[in-house]
Structure 1
Amino acid sequence: MPTEATPPVEPLPSAALYRHSDLSSPGFKTTKDLEDVETLVGQERALEAVRFAARMRARGYNLFVIGPKGSGKHTAVRRYLQERARNFPSPEDQVYVHNFADAHRPIALTLPTAAGPILARAMDKMIADLTATVPSVFEGEDYRLRRQAIDKSFAGRGEAAFKIVAEEAAKHGLALLRTEHGLAVAPVEDGKPMPQERFAALPQTDRERLQKAILEVQGQLQEVMRHAPILERERQETIGALDQSVAEALIQVVVDEARAALPEIPVLSTWLDAMRADLVTHIQLFARDDNPVNTQSRSGPPAPGSTSRRRYEVNVLVTHEVDRGAPVVMEDHPTLGRLIGRIEHRAQQGAMITDFTLIRHGALHAANGGYLLLDAQKLVTQPHAWDALKRALYSGKITIEGPDEAAATALAVSIQPSSVPLDVKVVLFGDHRIHLLLSSMDADFGDLFKVAADFDEVLARDPEHDQLYARLIATIQRRERLRPFDRKAVERVIEHCSRLVSDAEKLTTRVGRIANVLREADYVGRERNHKVIRANDVEDALDAQRRRVDRIERQAREQILRETVLIYTEGEAVGQVNGLSVLQIGAHAFGRPTRITARVRVGTGRVIDIEREVDLGGPLHSKGVLILQGYLASRYAISAPTSLQASLVFEQSYGGVDGDSASSTELYALLSALSDIPIRQGLAVTGSINQMGAVQAIGGVNEKIEGFFDLCEARGLTGDQGVLIPAANTVHLMLKSEVRAAVDKGAFRIWTVRTVAEGIALLTGQSAEVVDTAVEARLQAFAEARRRFSLRAED
């Protein structure tokens, strides 16, 4: 296919390699002259979503905040919610109390704001008052006399009954005798029990009369003895009635005092009535301090159903101050227990026991009535926490769950606290990956988190945003209590914000990385005793930042300089081109030259990707090679198949290769091998191609250029070295000052190319027409050789 004449491509001037920041128009000298920014710069769309979710009261309009780490999204969202929450009423208090009907199911009470501690103090005072007054009342003179009267009355009734029996016995010459077996009826003579011999000597009629009388008196005695337990029970009931009347009078006073501590609350009044009735039946708990039950309560919590003074205490789960607004809670470690609350247990007498006083609140309780902020990644990786959050949001209740069934079998006692009503707005923070995972894998996610606030990772760089970023830098400087930055230092930081996103027309929104630069520049300036941070302080801080992490980069370059890895930066070679790749080690990215070679021979029209053949090539790299094949076929084999077999390889590459940014480089090596026209080894190439021969943009252009420049500079710049990049990458150039200085001196060049024709002309020094002619001639020769071989094979 004939090639149209390609005009020569001129190298870029140094002005095109870097976009300087100019803040002279605001007219400030240092950051002390700039005002703070109140919100994140350039995030209006995301902040609008935050405001919508915060104000939307319908169910399911919880918020998922999407953005990279260090973008400032946590701070911005939390500050907005805190400002909004100040205008809300403080939520109600939540307390747990003993359930006098079923001790295993503690009752959750919702009380007015700040009322929880008041009730708890009132109950503590009531317990203290009863502990002090009950012994004095029940051991006092008035109670003792009334108790003695009861005892005397019932003792008299018992004695009167026995007296009647004794008098009846005396009429018949009998008496009641106390023996080791109890009372007995026996005949007497002269006031003494009649001996058996004397009784046997009596006339038979006398004996029969006495025996009959004994039986009658024994019957009367048995009747009296049968009524004795009944009489004792009546005595106990009378004493109980006395105790109850005394207790009720005493308890009514202390309960009324506790009731008066708070306004009338129906659920509280119901519980206080139940407590008053329980106190009456368990007044003995306060009878004296050495009561065995009380001793147990001091040594640890009782089982839920046992009797202890602790049953009258109040467990204040969550309390709030009046007029402090709604809570905004950030839970950094959202385990199941820290999210919904937990029930603690203690060992006592070989068993694990608990009661309502060992219920502990979770983040949902603390944030109830306000906002709960959670990290999505941490939440979903905690066992059962995500499911528990969903249950709470769906049900509108917080149910504290005990240990799982396997663990519960080892516990002697557990409880099931009643649920707490839930009214909370949940905000999840995460990146696009976790948001996509939840959206695609959990059907409930979209129903519960209907709003997404997607924070941009970059924003347009224009004079307005440059000025806003200057104010952002001033804001961070003041909040971090750093030294002021002068105007040139601020401009250098803004320029670095463009370099961080590899785009001269964009700025990073990752406030955390900006803050790191400011802190480190402040450190450099402080070491130099600078009262104001200067541009060279910022530059040196950035250089130090790179030096701390560039060990592997230096080792890779050293391998090339020692020719352990062969990369040529001078001369010419056929079928060999310097490609450029980017390695990422943690947060540090750097460019590394790579030698790409091509070999051709007669074949069946196949281009062998050696990286793919040995499973070192990724899918994107393989796609690039297939596009290359498509370009070759459409350009040189329209009417007949090519008789070419070629191989492409990244020399001395022992790890995986992926991405299509080397597809143009591979094509240039292949065209050189086919045309037998050498390529300048002082040049390096990056860029992908499409099937039409257009060179397309790639990533990491700054790192790639600087990686090749550092190698050439280490060997000595010759003036014939440079890099070819896609024209579309021009706007991404933010190259370091050493590269720009070398370009100004003409010691290094950077060209932008739009087509393969422009690239091959620069690399070979020959026009694209000459290269195409040589390629076509070589392919025709291959076709003729294959035809002759086929004829010989047929013969």
Structure 2
Amino acid sequence: MIKELSYKDARGTLSGMQFNCDSSADLFPLAEIIGQDRALRALQFGLKIESKGFNIFISGMPGTGRKTAIIGYLEEVAKERPIPYDWCYVYNFKDPKKPNALSLKAGSGSVFKKDMELFVTEMKRTLSVAFESDEYSRRRGETLKVIEAERDQVTKHVNTLAGKAGFLLQRSPIGLMLIPIQEGRPINEQEFAQLTPQLQSQIQKRREALEVELRVPLKQFRNIEGKMVNAIKELNRSAATFSLEPISSALKEKFRDSDEVVEYIKHVEEDVLDNLQTILQGNTPKQSQLPFQMPGARKDPAERYVVNLVVDNSELKGAPVVMELNPTYSRLFGAIEKEARFGAVVTDYTMIRGGSAHRANGGYLMVPVEGLFANPLIYESLKRAISNEKLEIEEPMVSLGFMLTGTLSPEPIPFRTKVVIVGDPQVYQLLFARDREFKELFKVKADFDTTMEKNKENIEKYAQFICTLCNKEDLCHLDSDGIAAVIEYSSRLAADKNKLSTQFASVSDIIREAHFYAREDGVEFMGRKHINKALNEKVYRSNLIEKKIDEMISMDVIQIDTHGDKVGQVNGLAVLNLGDYGFGKPSRITASIGVGREGIIDIERESQMGGQTHTKGVLILSGYLNSKYAREKPLSLTARLAFEQSYSGVDGDSASSTELYAILSALSGKPIKQHIAVTGSVNQKGEVQAIGGVNEKVEGFYEVCKSKGLIGNEGCMIPYSNVQNLMLKEELVTDIKEGRFHIWPVKTIDQGVEVLTGIDAGKFQPNGSYPEGTIHQIVQDRLDEMAELIKEFKL
């Protein structure tokens, strides 16, 4: 017979004595990523390689600490990297709809922005002083005096000609006017209309003759006025240039290392000189405003000298590390904001806003993959930015090919960023298979494992992780037994007593909950009892359905036998997952046998309640029966398998060995012990294979046995290869130790049959038969009888 499992093999335990500390407070905080050597190596490679397309996809299950660990690691790496440039947008004097992007050394952007504000203030003050000075008035007077003398001479000549012709030359807002003189005084239009036609005709002829005579002198007059305007403009430009030169030269000298900034300052100087009149008017309080203005018209023309700083790296100590948890289009790539002015929606370059990609430029950008697909534009725009190596701030509709009026097209900014996407393995596989560009742009995969080896080094690091969490969140520290309990829970999460889980989020939550109970107890340190209470309370909050099922089993509403023997009936085990909680549930599996040629009929499949994996497991049973009993004669049976009282569908092959035991029992007529529940898949060679959820399955049957009355012979039969996965709860381990519950690990169907029936399975002999009285011999004889019946009745 198969040896029962020792209680020592039912759970991997740790003693607090093996930690060289009284509590986690005595340990050093953890400063590294643990248990992820493969991912860390890939990450190091991806961050160091400079070639295009070697961006990184962090693959792993949620809760493994991917984001937190990677951010911490990136921040350490970034400290050794150079601080990237600041970026700002400025007015484009050639094409205002296409603002220019300027780059400056880190920290210089805010300085330049402030200096330009000071420049505008000082410019206005300097110009105001210059144009209100006595020196300017003197030079203006001297300039005008010469030109006005020339103008007066021409004016006198024109007036003389007009007077001789009987006209008065008068200036009006629309030009010069010739007004007739009658009886020594000028007349208006009404008086002119009252004159006789003959007199009107004479006046008109004199007017025409005078206009011809005045053409040359009036042209001279206009030239002189133009000369006056140009002279004043030149004087103003000269005065402004002289006034601006000290402050503009100082600004150019300060930013002499940036050719594009110096060039921009020159453009500003030229624009100031070209728009002196407007600027000077804007510098003087106005008595009234025009009743109508163009939407978006600036009140102060000097506003276009404002610097829009979109990336400010002044406070960085290295390369930027940006984690964008909500990667909307505008948060990632920036936006061109708008505002309402005079009933119209307008924008300008000062309303350009950078996004996370701009802040991460020259460093590292990390985004969760699920956020990239909330809007199809986001993922496509990110790929385009990586591929083209430039960031474009544009309206989302423009990306779709729509033409928008009244918007801007800012100059693109070079994009030199290592992009790190965090996602599930399934998403990575989908993108790799369906998106050709993805594999060209994300060539590095860093795979985060869900488990790590349970060795001395990792156990010590796990304890340091506990110390780090308690320090960071101001939690009670754990005593040595509490640390051991947490590490045991980690092995339970890993479903392997020889491994530790990297689901640090789940482990951290248990520590936080245990802290709550420790505070209620008023103790300084958390211990094993607080960890166990946190675990038990977590289960209690979620196991209502499990308890309802156990109650129905104890009341025989769901029929499960835990005592006695039955032919063709076995207790199988399954796991029900409720999202936040999973538990084991026994199911009665029955087999009925009859003469026929239909083979094994899966009632679950026939009723369309069985999954593909379950169907495969049932088909494997036919292979086993053929190899075992159909060496000389074909199988002649009809066997029907069913999960009794199953109404929600069945999938998985973990019950295939259980179904086979039911068939062998039905064929042999030998009863199966109902106090033993069975789990395990089987192959065509009769080897029992590992299954998932072994802890939940064993504990589920244990709870059922307790509710129906534990008498001491109950237990579970599991695959031998699942022994390493056992991390059973302490109460169950205690009952195993005291002989009230049992576990039998089996490697083959033959071993399992012997445990369930107490009868030898029997080994195939050279003469082509099995030993008398064995299960296989009885089954073979029964199948031979059925074959004869088939032949006799010609079925």
- By the TM > 0.5 criterion, same fold? yes
Question: Do the aligned residues in 1 keep the contact of 2:19 with 2:480 (CA within 8 Å)?
Answer: no
Over 3 Å counting, the alpha-carbon distance change for 1:227 and 1:27 in structure 2 is closer
Q: Distance in 2 between matches of 1:169 and 1:760?
A: 136
Q: Pick from 338, 351, 367 the counterpart of residue 344 of structure 2.
A: 351
The answer to whether the aligner puts 1:287 opposite 2:303 as a matched pair is no
More moved, 458-467 vs 627-636? 458-467
Question: Do the aligned residues in 1 keep the contact of 2:87 with 2:310 (CA within 8 Å)?
Answer: yes
> Which position in structure 2 is the counterpart of 1:32?
25
Deviation of 1:630 after TM superposition, in Å, equals 0.8
The answer to whether the aligner puts 1:586 opposite 2:579 as a matched pair is yes
Residue 276 of structure 1 aligns to which amino acid in structure 2? E
Residue 281 of structure 2 aligns to which amino acid in structure 1? A
Deviation of 1:468 after TM superposition, in Å, equals 3.0
> Which position in structure 1 is the counterpart of 2:691?
698
Q: Distance in 1 between matches of 2:674 and 2:204?
A: 144
Residue pairs, 1:486-635, within 5 angstroms: 486-635=479-628
Question: Do the aligned residues in 2 keep the contact of 1:135 with 1:287 (CA within 8 Å)?
Answer: no
Residue pairs, 1:55-70, within 5 angstroms: 55-70=48-63
Q: Pick from 175, 178, 181 the counterpart of residue 183 of structure 1.
A: 178
> Which position in structure 1 is the counterpart of 2:368?
375
- Identical amino acids, percent of aligned pairs: 37
> Which position in structure 1 is the counterpart of 2:770?
none
> Which position in structure 2 is the counterpart of 1:320?
313
Q: Distance in 2 between matches of 1:576 and 1:478?
A: 56
Over 3 Å counting, the alpha-carbon distance change for 1:70 and 1:334 in structure 2 is same
Could you report, residue by residue, the CA deviation over 1:378-420 in whole angstroms, capped at 9, with x for unpaired residues?
Answer: 2244322222222222222222222314999795411111111
Residue pairs, 1:67-106, within 5 angstroms: 67-106=60-99
Question: Do the aligned residues in 1 keep the contact of 2:159 with 2:169 (CA within 8 Å)?
Answer: no
> Which position in structure 1 is the counterpart of 2:122?
129
Deviation of 1:151 after TM superposition, in Å, equals 5.8
Residue 415 of structure 2 aligns to which amino acid in structure 1? L
Could you report, residue by residue, the CA deviation over 1:160-196 in whole angstroms, capped at 9, with x for unpaired residues?
Answer: 33533555677x7x6434699943567989999xx99
> Which position in structure 2 is the counterpart of 1:785?
789
Q: Pick from 120, 123, 143 the counterpart of residue 113 of structure 2.
A: 120
Question: Do the aligned residues in 2 keep the contact of 1:138 with 1:287 (CA within 8 Å)?
Answer: no
Q: Distance in 2 between matches of 1:191 and 1:683?
A: 131
Over 3 Å counting, the alpha-carbon distance change for 1:591 and 1:186 in structure 2 is closer
Q: Pick from 429, 435, 443 the counterpart of residue 442 of structure 1.
A: 435
Q: Distance in 2 between matches of 1:250 and 1:327?
A: 42
SS at match of 1:96: strand
> Which position in structure 1 is the counterpart of 2:463?
470
Over 3 Å counting, the alpha-carbon distance change for 1:405 and 1:175 in structure 2 is same
Deviation of 1:508 after TM superposition, in Å, equals 0.5
Q: Distance in 2 between matches of 1:520 and 1:711?
A: 28
Question: What TM-score, normalized by structure 2, do the two folds share?
Answer: 0.89
> Which position in structure 2 is the counterpart of 1:729?
722
Over 3 Å counting, the alpha-carbon distance change for 1:292 and 1:365 in structure 2 is farther
More moved, 286-295 vs 768-777? 286-295
SS at match of 2:396: coil
SS at match of 1:705: helix
Over 3 Å counting, the alpha-carbon distance change for 1:714 and 1:290 in structure 2 is farther
Residue 526 of structure 2 aligns to which amino acid in structure 1? I
SS at match of 2:533: helix
Question: What TM-score, normalized by structure 1, do the two folds share?
Answer: 0.89
Deviation of 1:750 after TM superposition, in Å, equals 1.2
Residue 475 of structure 1 aligns to which amino acid in structure 2? T
Deviation of 1:658 after TM superposition, in Å, equals 1.0
Over 3 Å counting, the alpha-carbon distance change for 1:543 and 1:443 in structure 2 is same
Residue pairs, 1:209-288, within 5 angstroms: 219-221=212-214, 223-225=216-218, 227-283=220-276, 284-288=278-282
Question: Do the aligned residues in 2 keep the contact of 1:23 with 1:467 (CA within 8 Å)?
Answer: no
Question: Do the aligned residues in 1 keep the contact of 2:4 with 2:743 (CA within 8 Å)?
Answer: yes
Question: Do the aligned residues in 1 keep the contact of 2:497 with 2:724 (CA within 8 Å)?
Answer: yes
Residue 788 of structure 2 aligns to which amino acid in structure 1? E
SS at match of 1:82: helix
Q: Pick from 331, 336, 351 the counterpart of residue 329 of structure 2.
A: 336
Over 3 Å counting, the alpha-carbon distance change for 1:571 and 1:137 in structure 2 is same
More moved, 526-535 vs 148-157? 148-157
Question: Do the aligned residues in 2 keep the contact of 1:642 with 1:783 (CA within 8 Å)?
Answer: yes
Deviation of 1:43 after TM superposition, in Å, equals 2.2
Over 3 Å counting, the alpha-carbon distance change for 1:46 and 1:403 in structure 2 is closer
The alignment covers a number of residue pairs equal to: 770
Q: Distance in 2 between matches of 1:509 and 1:146?
A: 83
Over 3 Å counting, the alpha-carbon distance change for 1:559 and 1:542 in structure 2 is same
Residue 787 of structure 2 aligns to which amino acid in structure 1? A
Question: Do the aligned residues in 2 keep the contact of 1:122 with 1:261 (CA within 8 Å)?
Answer: no
More moved, 232-241 vs 426-435? 232-241
Q: Distance in 1 between matches of 2:526 and 2:403?
A: 63
Q: Distance in 1 between matches of 2:184 and 2:556?
A: 140
* RMSD of Structure 2 on Structure 1 (CA): 3.4
Q: Distance in 1 between matches of 2:204 and 2:512?
A: 116
Over 3 Å counting, the alpha-carbon distance change for 1:184 and 1:34 in structure 2 is closer
Could you report, residue by residue, the CA deviation over 1:685-729 in whole angstroms, capped at 9, with x for unpaired residues?
Answer: 101111111111111111001001101101110223211111111
Residue 364 of structure 2 aligns to which amino acid in structure 1? Y
Over 3 Å counting, the alpha-carbon distance change for 1:229 and 1:713 in structure 2 is same
Question: Do the aligned residues in 1 keep the contact of 2:550 with 2:707 (CA within 8 Å)?
Answer: no
* Structure 2: gaps spanning 5 or more residues: 197-201, 763-773
Over 3 Å counting, the alpha-carbon distance change for 1:289 and 1:621 in structure 2 is same
Over 3 Å counting, the alpha-carbon distance change for 1:688 and 1:263 in structure 2 is same
* Structure 1: gaps spanning 5 or more residues: 1-7, 201-208
Residue 167 of structure 2 aligns to which amino acid in structure 1? L
Question: Do the aligned residues in 1 keep the contact of 2:7 with 2:736 (CA within 8 Å)?
Answer: yes
Deviation of 1:104 after TM superposition, in Å, equals 0.9
> Which position in structure 2 is the counterpart of 1:203?
none
Residue 604 of structure 1 aligns to which amino acid in structure 2? R
Could you report, residue by residue, the CA deviation over 1:274-321 in whole angstroms, capped at 9, with x for unpaired residues?
Answer: 11111111122232456789989xx999479x9832211101111222
Residue pairs, 1:746-761, within 5 angstroms: 746-761=739-754
Question: Do the aligned residues in 2 keep the contact of 1:575 with 1:598 (CA within 8 Å)?
Answer: yes
Deviation of 1:620 after TM superposition, in Å, equals 0.8
Question: Do the aligned residues in 2 keep the contact of 1:719 with 1:748 (CA within 8 Å)?
Answer: yes
More moved, 761-770 vs 265-274? 761-770
Could you report, residue by residue, the CA deviation over 1:42-72 in whole angstroms, capped at 9, with x for unpaired residues?
Answer: 3223222222222222222222222222222
SS at match of 2:376: coil
Q: Distance in 1 between matches of 2:288 and 2:626?
A: 96
Q: Pick from 609, 631, 652 the counterpart of residue 638 of structure 1.
A: 631
Over 3 Å counting, the alpha-carbon distance change for 1:236 and 1:211 in structure 2 is closer
Question: Do the aligned residues in 2 keep the contact of 1:131 with 1:288 (CA within 8 Å)?
Answer: no
SS at match of 1:272: helix
